[in-house]
Structures are given as structure tokens and as C-alpha cells.
Amino acid sequence: MKGEAVVVTVVVMLGFAQAAVYNVGDAKGWGFNVLGWEHGKNFRAGDTLVFKYDTTLHSVVRVDKASFDACSIPPNAPKYATGNDQIVLPKGPNYFLCGTPGHCTAGVRITAFAA
């Protein structure tokens, strides 16, 4: 039984060691340049998205699909505003948009589907 626990622990630790870190918007960061940034990337559960931005201009809000499509922010949506937000992706679709009025409709939003 103890041997099985060690194997499970090692497998879990290896999964975390393989997690990738993505800087959203690459060198330019989170802003008006992110439209389509996520295309072609193979996100996996446990990967980290790093949102770097000027806090006087932007923020990050995690929303559901309906809110993403409507560029609306539900009252209970998790909001980030440090300028260096690091968010670990759970499995499935993940939706993020800028909380500054008008920025989402101008393209400051991404979808990250994590396998």
C-alpha cells in the first residue's frame, strides 16, 4: 500500500512539473493586442496564464461563456488587478476579459481551453 502511494505521488508531481507558463499577449502583455493570441496554443489543466498589464488601464475578470460572449461581468466573477496575475487553468474552457468598460468589446478578452 505504501509503495502505491509513492507511485501516485510521483505521477502527480510529474504532471505539475510539465505544466507550462504562458505570458498572455507575449512580450506586449495583456491589452489591445491579445485578440486571437490563444489560437494555436495547446493549454493543459495545470498550466499558468500570466497577465501582465498597467493597472491604471486594465484588469482581468474570469467569466462564464455567456458573460464572455456578451462582454458582461457578473457580480460574483473573480476579479484580478495586480498587474501580474498568475492564474492556473482548470480543465475545460476558461474565459477572461478586461474589466475596464469598453475594453472587452475592443478585443481585450481570451478563451483558453485546457485539455
Tell me the mean pLDDT in the region 62-86.
98
Write down the pLDDT at residue 15: 52
- The count of structural domains within the chain is 1
Amino acid at 107: G
Cell of 12: 502527480
pTM equals: 0.84
pLDDT in tens, 80-107: 999 999 999 999 999 999 999 999 999 9
Cβ distance 36 to 82 under 8 Å? no
What gap in Å lies between CA 106 and CA 57, rounded to an integer?
13
Domain presence at residue 52: yes
CATH code of the domain in which 42 resides: 2.60.40.420
Strands, E assignment, 3-70 = 21-23, 48-52, 60-63
Cβ distance 48 to 84 under 8 Å? no
Domain presence at residue 12: no
Domain presence at residue 72: yes
What gap in Å lies between CA 32 and CA 62, rounded to an integer?
17
Write down the pLDDT at residue 101: 97
> 18: pLDDT confidence band, cut at 50, 70 and 90?
confident
For the chain, what is the mean pLDDT? 90
Tell me the mean pLDDT in the region 69-88.
98
The closest alpha carbon to 35, from 110, 115, 113, 112, belongs to 110
Cell of 26: 507575449
Range of the domain at 25: 20-114
Domain presence at residue 30: yes
Domain presence at residue 32: yes
